[in-house]
Structure formats: structure tokens, C-alpha cells
Structure 1
Amino acid sequence: MDELNGAGVALITPFNADGTIDFGSLEKLIDHQIKGGMDYLVSLGTTGETATLSETERKSVWEFTARHAAGRIPLVAGIGGNNTAEIVHQLAAFDTTGYAAILSVSPYYNKPTQEGIYQHYKALSVATPLPLIIYNIPGRTGSNISPETTVRLARDFDNIVATKDASGSFDQFSRIMRDKPAEFLLISGDDPMTLPMMALGAVGIISVVANAFPREIAELARLCRIGDYESARVIHNKLIRITELCFVEGNPAGIKNILTQLGICGGTVRLPLVEVSDATRMAIADELQLLR
């Protein structure tokens, strides 16, 4: 899975003011990523507000993204949830044209045991026609995928090829790196963790901040891959404040406001999310002025 090395971006889903999908802005965003040197795109990860999209809307976004990317860059599709049978159904029905892998978030709200998580991904591994990336983000799902479960899945199923980990636990990252099969990949799922995780052996990042700053995130990942951590730290430090502002009022409201101020798309989000406050908007404007 060389396609998963380096910098990927969890694309936002742009909306018009009336809440419909803004395909014109999505086209502009995809081009922004490709011109910025990103290594791959993730269509409809959790940053894409996928939980608020209908089945028809999800299909239209995946198809549009594949059609517009037109083979210029590898694509990953986000297909996950807390109803295993429904996700199996979605995977079986998914049109894989243009896509290299599936990213699937760990079941949320249900708070399954480690055995339940294992059985969930086992079912998905059988159903998916593409390689599968585990997504562990305990702050959103309410449960953590332990290193033991991650490694067990990696060893038992050849098509489970990577984990995107946003647990924030360096003990967990270290244990995964120590015990995993050689070909299994660790990917950062948290922008501020990218540099130290890559120093431990992660192969890259699936980034939110890259929606706005693809060139910087792609270069940071490239520098880490060649072991130039001193140069990578310059970019890491440069992006600390804008990354904080990106998440201070939730994702993707923050990154959408940044993209609005950069003229790439509007800031509309779907309820129950709301746009950022005036205070955050002004703080973002001040930081963007410093970054220019």
C-alpha cells in the first residue's frame, strides 16, 4: 500500500448556504489538494460530515470525487459506523472505481468490548473488495482500540493494511510499532501528533489542516520520511496556532471557516454542528495574516 505513505487529507464536504452539496467548491478543493502535492485524498471520512449525508448524497460525492480526480491521485473512501450489518451492506454495494482503500471508523456510541471491535472489523474485512484501514479515535467513538486488538486484526486479515490512530497515546503507538507485522502501517490521525508519530515509525498523516494547507502538510510528511526532523519542526511550529484554532470549536467548523477566509469554499455546516463564533473567526483571520 505505497499509496498510503506520506500525506493524505480528510476532505470536508462543502455545502451551499441552503445546505445542499456544493460540487463546484468540492472541485476547487480537490484541485487545491493535488496542486499542493498531497499524496492521497480521503473522501467522506468523519471530517466530511458523513453522518449527516444521505445514501444518495454519499454516492454522489464518491462518484464526483473519483471522476474529477481522474486518476491523478489515489483515493480512499470513508465507510464506517456503529451498525456492522449496515456497513457490510454499504461495502458490498460500493463502486470501487477510482478508489484504492476503505477507511472505517471504529463503532461509536455502542462502546463494544475489544472482542466486539475485533468481530466488527472481521466482518468488514470479509465484505470489502478493497484494503481496509482501521480508524481509532476514542475521543469521538467512546472506546479505544487497544494495541493488542489492532495487532490481532493486522495478523489475522491480510486486507487490513493500516490503522489511522488518533488516540494521542504514545504508549499505544509504540506498542503497535513494536508488535505489528512489518507490512502493516501506522498513520497519524491527529495533525499535531504527525511529527512525533513519524519519528516512531508512522508512515504519514491523514490530515484535517491539509484542507487549507496541503503544501505545508505534504512537505512536513516528506521531511519526516527522509529523517529531516529539524526542517519538519519548522513547519510543525508554524502551524501550531492555526491547528489549535481549527479544532477549538469542533471539526469541521474550524477548517471550513479557514477555507472560507482563503476563498476556497463556504463555511456552512449541517446541524447539529454550527459555524464558528465571531471571536474564533477573527482569531483565524489574525493568524492567517501572520501566515501569509
Structure 2
Amino acid sequence: MKTLGRVLTAMITPFHADGSVDFDGAVALANHLLDNGSDGIVVCGTTGESPTIANEDKLTLFRRIVDVCGDKGSIIANTGSNDTLRSVEFTKQAAATGVDAVMAVVPYYNKPNQKGLYAHFKAIAEATTLPIIVYNVPGRTGGKIIPATIEQLHRDFPNIAAVKEASGDVNVASEIYRRIPTDFMIYSGDDGLTLPILAVGGCGIISVAAHVVGKDLNEMIQAFERGEVTKAREIHARLLPIFDAMFVTTNPIPVKYAVRRLGLPAGPFHLPMCEPSEEEAAVIDAALKMIK
């Protein structure tokens, strides 16, 4: 199966102390990730605090990272929102920066029905020839796209080529694979479900934990692909405390804290995201000690 990579990291966005985007830090972090297990990165997704970043800064991030890191892996721009017209326009702008693909979330808050979701993603698909990743994350959006709608979208618009499946239900990934068994990329949207989703037809992970264990995740996936299921299962078990720590509170709070603790570019948060509590920080610190 042709993929955008097996391990795609949903990258944090480094900020300066005054809250402005640290473009140099973002490029440095992207390089680090691509040198340490990531086959590609998603820029300005949820983990990248996208709701609080101006579109002009997002486009600069896309350009800078493509220019410096584009030969190392897939660069994927998050362009979706809960406004179809704005999503379409921003997708066109992002495509012009040279990214390899775009990701678009199921519209949040509005809670459109399946007919509305089809029309939303149809409009985005007609605006670009780039591969599109549909991001299904009901826990954040309040709505969901069902496998039958994904099947219809892929049939009608083949550039709708992947899904980031973060419903937490492996059966959803199973049903997508049953309906589209070839030529469609199913990425786990939850680090802890990567191995189970691989087993039912997934191709990889769009990961938060890859900021700190990218090589291990890639090794786990490669072991599974080689048929070394026991080895893959052992790696999965070893990484579980890391996965748990990265979601001890709302993402991206734990991972941005962890990246900072590792001495990599991160900086502060944009409100309403904030620092972890002392108890949460202790959990993250304990997990980081396990990987040193």
C-alpha cells in the first residue's frame, strides 16, 4: 500500500515567550522528528494549537517546513475547520506552499449530518488535487463521520485518500477497511490503539507520542509488518505508560511539556491551553525517565 508514511507526528507548535510563533524552532523540531522515527509530520493540527494561530502564520510554517524538511518526509497541512468556505479557501492557500497532503477535521460544534459532511468534504476535495486525510475525532468535535460516508467520498473523490480514525473504537476502523480494503490509508488517531488498528487493516499512526518515542513506534509497526507480532506486542506494552502520560490531561499539554523537558523547541502555551498541574507533571516526568 502506498502511504504518506507509517508514523506521522502531529507536531506541536513552538512559541516565543510573547506568544508569537517560533518559526526557527518549528523547523528545528520538524527536522528532529523526521530524523527520529517520523516518516512525516502534520503541521498546525490540534496538537499544534491550530485554533489559536493566525492563518498567515500557519502558511509561513507550511512554507518554511516544506523548504527545509520537505525532502525528509511527508509534510501535511491541517486546513479544515467548521466553515466549509473557509476550509476550501485555506486548503487552496496551503496547497500553494508545496505541502504533500492536507488534513481536514469533521466540522466541530455545528454537528452536521452525513449529507452535510459529504458536501463539506466534497467541496474541499474539489479545491485541490492533493491527498486529503479526513480527521474523525468525535470526542473533540461532537459529531462523527460514518464509514459509509467515507466510502462514498473516496469513491467519488479518490484524492480523499485517508482517515485519521480517533473515535476510540477499533470497530470503526474495521468497517472502513471492510468497505475500502485497498488504496485507502487508515491511520490510528490514538497512540495506544496503533497496534490493534494495524491488525484490522490500518497503515500507521498520526501520533502525539512520536515526539518522544518515534523510533520505537516505527520499530513496532515494522515488526508487525514483518509478521513479528510478538515483538510488536512487546514494544506496544513497553510504550503504554508513555501513551498514558501523553494523555494524562488534555492534549497538547502533556506532550508540549515533555518536549520542553527534553530540551527541544516548545515554548509556552496559547490560552486556553496551560501548564500541567504538579501531579500531571509528575506523571509525565516519570514516563520520560523510562525512555532515557
TM-score interval for Structure 1 and Structure 2 normalised by the shorter chain: over 0.9
TM-score (norm 2): 0.95
Structure 1: tracts of 5 or more residues without a match: none
Partner of 2:235: 235
- Rounded Cα–Cα distance in structure 2 between residues aligned with 1:217 and 1:167: 20
The alpha-carbon distance between structure 1 residues 288 and 168, as it changes in their structure 2 partners (threshold 3 A), is same
**RMSD, matched Cα:** 1.5
Match of 2:290 in 1: 290
**Residue in structure 1 matched with residue 253 of structure 2 by the alignment:** 253
Report how far residue 91 of structure 1 moved.
Answer: 1.7
User: 1:29 touches 1:211 (CA, 8 Å); kept in 2?
Assistant: no
Residues of 2 paired with 1:185 and 1:95: CA distance?
20
Contact 1:32 1:214 in 2 (8 A): no
- CA contact 1:155–1:181 (8 Å) conserved in 2: no
Distance across 2 between alignment mates of 1:180 and 1:287: 37
Structure 2 CA distance for aligned equivalents of residues 291 and 58 of structure 1: 32
How many Å separate the matches in 2 of 1:36 and 1:93? 29
Query: C-alpha displacement at 1:96, in angstroms?
Result: 3.6
Alignment of 1:138-287 (within 5 A): 138-180=138-180, 182-287=182-287
For 1:116, the equivalent position in structure 2 comes to 116
List per-residue Cα deviations over 1:86-142 (Å, max 9, x = no partner).
111112223444421111111000000011111100111101231111110000110
Return the offset for 1:220: 1.7
Question: For 1:291 and 1:155, how far apart are their aligned partners in 2?
Answer: 43
Q: What is residue 9 of structure 1 aligned with on the other side?
A: 9
Q: Does 1:81 align with 2:78?
A: no
Give aligned-pair identity as a percent: 38
Distance in 2 between residues matched to 1:181 and 1:289, nearest whole Å: 40
Question: Which residue of the partner structure matches residue 68 of structure 2?
Answer: 68
Q: Is the 8 A contact 1:12 1:49 kept in 2?
A: yes
Q: Deviations over 1:141-190 (max 9, x none)?
A: 10111111111111111111111110111221211111115211211111
- Asked if the contact 1:74/1:98 (under 8 Å) is kept, the reply is no
How many residues get paired? 292
Aligned partner letter, 1:131: P
Deviation at 1:38, TM superposition (A): 1.6
SS state at 1:269 partner: coil
TM-score, with structure 1 as normaliser = 0.95
SS in 1 for 2:246: helix
Give, in angstroms, the shift of residue 234 of structure 1.
Answer: 1.9
Would the aligned equivalents of 2:59 and 2:97 in 1 still touch at CA under 8 Å? no
> Given residue 35 of structure 1, which amino acid in structure 2 is its aligned partner?
D
| Counterpart amino acid of residue 43 in structure 2 | S
Q: Distance in 1 between matches of 2:147 and 2:46?
A: 22
Q: Distance in 1 between matches of 2:28 and 2:90?
A: 28
For 2:139 and 2:254, locate their aligned partners in 1 and report how far apart those are by CA, in whole Å: 17
